[in-house]
Amino acid sequence: MKMSTFCDGMSRRDFVQVGTLGFLGLTLEQFLRTRSAMAQQGLYNKGQELPQRAKSCILVWLAGGPSHIDTFDLKPDAPDQFRGEFKPIDTVVPGVRISEHLPKFAQIMDRVSLVRTMTGPEGEHDRAAQHLLTGHRPLPATNYPSHGSVVTHERGLGTWLPNYIAVPNADRAMGAGYLSKSFDPFAVGGDPASPTFQVRDLYTSGFNLTFDRINRRRELVKQLDERARNIARNEVTAARDAFYAQAYDLVTSRQARDAFEISKEEQPLREKYGPTTLGQGCLLARRLVEAGVAFVTVNSMGIGGTTPLTWDTHQNNFPALKDQLLPQLDNAFTALIQDLDDRKLLDSTLVILTGEFGRTPKINKNAGRDHWPRANSVVLAGGGIKRGLVLGKTDAQAEYPVDRPVSPADLAATMFTLLGIDPHKAEHTNDGRSIKLVADGEAVHELMT
């Protein structure tokens, strides 16, 4: 079953292209040019303001809204029209039970924390995604920056690799908002599950360019610039010099190319993640944080993937979850956590699993579940997060939190705090307004070590 549209008719391509600011993510050329310009302005590496418990963050984004009552918050004693077809199973944490279709996940519950009471007011895909990915409710007059853009703004754009990467691509809510477009994510563009996977623009073969030809072109540009310098030397020529130097370094850098060379992973490990865009995207994310990237978003609905996932299950919710969605998630996320932990990277890498909202506890006439922002489950791990914790409780039908509600702003504050960023510091929009990174939320200290 291949689901490629949301309930409002927006296609995968529409979703990532909505708006006029190019939210597919920066191309290589755009990234290098903006990085060069920022360097000229001295706007790099603003430093950390809090103790940094997480060096990097991987956000696994389940676009469309996963059903919390069929995954992490089952209610087996609820009436038939609520509880659905799935049964809960025990996990390695005593007393914690999750869906029978997440058996591998059940074995890593002692390495993660589960929040069962994420709650918000937005029940439309785009608005809810903006709320979850920025920590702010959408406003007509303000385009808020995503978490990844804020982290990049505070950490710097990166050196030989961008500090904010989207796999395979980004959607509208993942952009830089009122911050400079320089802080949009760099989009990988290709499907990491494809045998011919390549990062767009990073390889020269598509342009019939060998490194010898690149070197000859670089020498020609150098000669032309030397002649230009005899006439005038200004900020434009200086920025161009920096851009070409960075472009050459990235395209020819063995370190940069190696970070994306997912084919170098052992086949048994690749199989453990699963032969899907989500699975191989999670594996690529591990490689990128291992190489020093600060923020990676794995977008389950990213354009370019051969196996796109949308969790917008208004119809046939149970076969979609059982046959496609949950098996892919079970493989991908559990492999990611185990792999990071085995490599001693989990303690320095914050991992978050979420979508924009949950689903209605009551099953609709099409055997599906509709949008439900009032209750949702979020999984967090690593980077200063406690292990084996379950936070919050929903009512008997998983409709509303009855204990310890957590808002998107609280999640944002928690994330920034663990990454060493003051969630209450203020940034400024282009028109001079001062806006706090998190306006109405607080870090969830119960989750933190």
In a domain, 191, yes or no: yes
Amino acid, single-letter form, for residue 141: A
SS3 assignment, position 143: coil
Q: Please report which confidence band the pLDDT of residue 30 belongs to, taking 50, 70 and 90 as the band edges.
A: low
Domain range for residue 195? Answer: 12-447
Domain containing residue 156: CATH number: 3.40.720
Domain count, the chain: 1
Q: Is the pLDDT of residue 267 over 90?
A: yes
d(CA 16, CA 302): 8
Decide: 291 and 161 in contact? Cβ < 8 Å: yes
23/33 Cα distance (integer angstroms) = 17
- Report d(CA 91, CA 284) in Å as an integer: 27
**Global pTM?**
0.85
pLDDT at 380: 99
Residue 52: inside a domain: yes
User: Is residue 3 one of the residues assigned to a domain?
Assistant: no
User: In 3-state terms, what secondary structure has residue 73?
Assistant: coil
In a domain, 176, yes or no: yes
Instruction: Report whether pLDDT(206) > 50.
Output: no
**Residue 147 within a domain:** yes
Higher pLDDT: 341 or 235? It is: 341
Domain annotation covers residue 6: no
Q: For the chain, what is the mean pLDDT?
A: 85
pLDDT of residue 12: 44
What span, in angstroms and rounded, lies between the C-alpha atoms of 259 and 286?
10
Which whole number is the average pLDDT over 38-52? 60
Band (180; pLDDT cuts 50, 70, 90) = confident
Q: What is the mean pLDDT of residues 216-237?
A: 53
> How do the residues of the chain divide into helix, strand and coil, expressed in percent and rounded to 5?
40, 15, 45
Mean pLDDT of 60-73: 97
Between these two residues, 151 and 203, which has the higher pLDDT value? Answer: 151
Which of 377, 249, 368 shows the shortest CA–CA distance to 319? 368
Q: Do the domain assignments include residue 4?
A: no
pLDDT in tens, 271-317: 999 999 999 999 999 999 999 999 999 999 854 445 556 899 999 99
374 vs 356: CA distance, rounded Å: 11
Residue with tokens 């979020």: 378
**Residue 27 dihedral angles phi and psi, to the nearest 5°:** -75, 170
Percent of the chain past pLDDT 90, that is, above it, reads 68
Calpha distance 361→71 (Å, rounded): 12
